[in-house]
Structure 1
């Protein structure tokens, strides 16, 4: 019988490629660091539950959890904790909440957070984003130019807050 089409290690977990790591410095807020740590604990718990299954023919969920653990551990190793409360609130900095107004007077609040914490639906943006780069260093009353793919827009800085989230 030819062994050309026989899988050698049927019981071994499949090899999944690692998740890509950002080339940017991994700045995190205290909330972002706590979130990464919680995600790692949750994923480790999930992996332990998967390994405790009596029926373990499908190893893909275990391989995915192991891959996610490697990613989270790498992100935690590279984390650079930045406490926004240590930076004065007179100019926009990492971790600050910024309320801006566009030319039509529409107000929007953004928070500059780490990449793993960024979530557009919550107004959280990564420091490498074009918007965050435009905002960082600005003061209340300043106008900044946000260069977007659909065209540049001027934003007036209305308020800068240092969040006190856990």
Structure 2
């Protein structure tokens, strides 16, 4: 076939992007996580409107990415199950609560157990499915738990349990 009859621009108006994986099952989150997810959806929707309003729309990739992100955010919101940590008493570590632990060297660290979409390890927010959260959930003040990590196990003593927005 002659190259003169090949449309080299075919498919450029609608790039195919792989979908973002949506985990199966409920999306357990705190009220703060729900608000953050809604904010992300609102921002991404506003960005999509701005992208569609561009005069030069030859590159459709940014629009396709925004549309894909919006589909993912909507799916995560549809699966949202909000657990309010304020409903928990502070007798044992539970979802949404902040827990302060001391390691074997006496160093104190505070972690908050939050939903998968809220998790941010550098901020001390960990997902309930993480090995650390699994070790902490259900523990009480004074308990020593074993955190199984790739670098080896670590013993952590539970010092304080608090609501995340309250002072420890």
Shorter-normalised TM-score: what interval?
over 0.9
Aligned to 2:122: 121
Q: 1:59 to 1:141 in 2, by over 3 A?
A: same
Aligned counterparts of 1:45 and 1:159: Cα–Cα separation in 2: 41
Normalising by structure 1, report the TM-score.
Answer: 0.94
Q: Is this contact kept in 1: 2:44–2:69, CA < 8 A?
A: yes
- Report SS of the residue matched to 2:116: coil
Gaps of 5+ in 2: none
- Report SS of the residue matched to 2:149: coil
- C-alpha deviation, 1:4, in angstroms: 5.0
Aligned to 1:65: 66
Render the CA deviation track for 1:126-150: whole Å, top value 9, x for unaligned.
Answer: 0000000000000000010000001
The 5-angstrom pairing of residues 70-81 of structure 1 reads 70-81=71-82
Render the CA deviation track for 1:1-49: whole Å, top value 9, x for unaligned.
Answer: 3445634344x22011111122463111000000000000000000000
Aligned to 1:8: 10
The 5-angstrom pairing of residues 1-166 of structure 1 reads 1-2=2-3, 3=5, 6-10=8-12, 12-23=13-24, 25-164=26-165
Aligned counterparts of 2:80 and 2:91: Cα–Cα separation in 1: 26
Number of equivalenced pairs: 164
- Report SS of the residue matched to 1:147: strand
User: CA RMSD for the aligned pairs?
Assistant: 1.5
Normalising by structure 2, report the TM-score.
Answer: 0.92
Q: 1:24 to 1:128 in 2, by over 3 A?
A: farther
Aligned counterparts of 1:100 and 1:24: Cα–Cα separation in 2: 31
Runs of 4+ in 1 over 6 A off after TM superposition: none
